[in-house]
């Protein structure tokens, strides 16, 4: 099942310089994630989890090492290519949902299609289809303020999936949700992982959730991988 890895990082490093102080956020990360995996990433705050997510999501560029996704060297893409990579190859969801308050659920989900020049009617039609996939067809015309936290995060998931990416990066997606709602979201991710062979990378504080959903967990500490453990 796990043939050639979908994501491969080689000695990946990221150094932030603020004035004279240099902070090593990531230091020599070597990852190999096969297609269709559900990888959990754990670690205390400041361990570099989010930095790793941002690098894998193409929001940031590494200061050393490399990232390869589906055989492409993501770490050497230019601005324009990175935008396309973010648009088509990865979907990201965040702890704070990051959906646009002024847009309806449907409009938020359709947003990535806007930049590909898909006509409006087509955009909204596809957004509706994905919204029903995450169980929100009833709420498609509501604005974020009219939706619960769990619903907002489902909107974010739908938006992340609209361009059928290879990878879903979830950065503490349940951090703002109660445990029942959290499980609902993670069940959704698991379902996508199983039915659509979507590769999921999940960052979480909560070890029990990772243990429940992830096939494999890596622990980050001070920007390094401490150990990796397989889930039974």
CB of 192 to other proteins, least distance (A): 17
Pick the closer one to other proteins by CB: 59 or 183.
59
CA separation, residue 92 to residues 96, 122, 123, 164, 187 (Å): 12, 22, 19, 12, 17
CB of 102 to other proteins, least distance (A): 7
Pick the closer one to other proteins by CB: 20 or 121.
121
Locate 34 and state its tokens: 């096969």
Angle between helices 105-114 and 149-161 (to 10 degrees): 20
Pick the closer one to other proteins by CB: 19 or 117.
117
Locate 74 and state its tokens: 């993501």
Pick the closer one to other proteins by CB: 20 or 80.
80
Cα–Cα dist 189/170, whole Å = 9
Long-range contacts (CB closer than 8 Å, 24 or more residues apart) made by 103-106: 103/143, 103/144, 104/140, 104/141, 104/142, 104/143, 105/131, 105/136, 105/139, 105/140, 105/141, 105/142, 105/143, 105/144, 105/147, 105/151, 105/155, 105/158, 106/131, 106/140, 106/141
CB of 34 to other proteins, least distance (A): 25
CB of 39 to other proteins, least distance (A): 20
Pick the closer one to other proteins by CB: 42 or 99.
99
> Would you put residue 32 in left (φ > 0), alpha (ψ -120 to 50) or beta?
beta
CB of 100 to other proteins, least distance (A): 6
Binding residues for other proteins, rule: CB under 8 A, are: 54, 57, 59-60, 79-80, 83-84, 86-88, 92, 94, 96, 98-100, 102, 111-112, 114-117, 119-120, 159-160, 163
Pick the closer one to other proteins by CB: 161 or 214.
161
CB of 188 to other proteins, least distance (A): 18
Element of type H or E holding 88: helix 79-88
């Amino acid at each position: 099942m796990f043939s050639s890895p979908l994501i491969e990082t080689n000695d990946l490093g990221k150094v932030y310089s603020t004035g004279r102080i240099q902070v090593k956020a990531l230091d020599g990360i070597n990852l190999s994630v096969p297609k269709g995996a559900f990888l959990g990433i754990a670690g205390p705050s400041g361990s570099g989890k989010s930095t790793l997510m941002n690098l894998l999501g193409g929001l940031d560029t590494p200061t050393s090492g490399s990232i390869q996704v589906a055989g492409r060297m993501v770490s050497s893409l230019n601005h324009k290519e990175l935008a396309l990579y973010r648009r088509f190859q990865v979907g990201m969801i965040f702890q704070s949902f990051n959906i646009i308050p002024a847009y309806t659920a449907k409009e938020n989900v359709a947003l990535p299609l806007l930049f590909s020049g898909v006509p409006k009617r087509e955009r909204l039609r596809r957004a509706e289809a994905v919204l029903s996939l995450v169980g929100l067809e009833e709420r498609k015309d509501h604005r974020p303020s009219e939706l619960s936290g769990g619903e907002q995060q489902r909107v974010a998931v739908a938006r992340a999936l609209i361009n059928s990416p290879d990878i879903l990066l979830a950065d503490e997606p349940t951090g703002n949700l109660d445990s029942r709602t959290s499980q609902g979201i993670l069940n959704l991710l698991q379902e996508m992982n199983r039915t659509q062979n979507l590769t999921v990378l999940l960052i979480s504080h909560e070890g029990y959730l990772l243990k429940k959903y992830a096939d494999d967990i890596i622990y980050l500490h001070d920007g390094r991988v401490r150990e990796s453990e397989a889930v039974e």
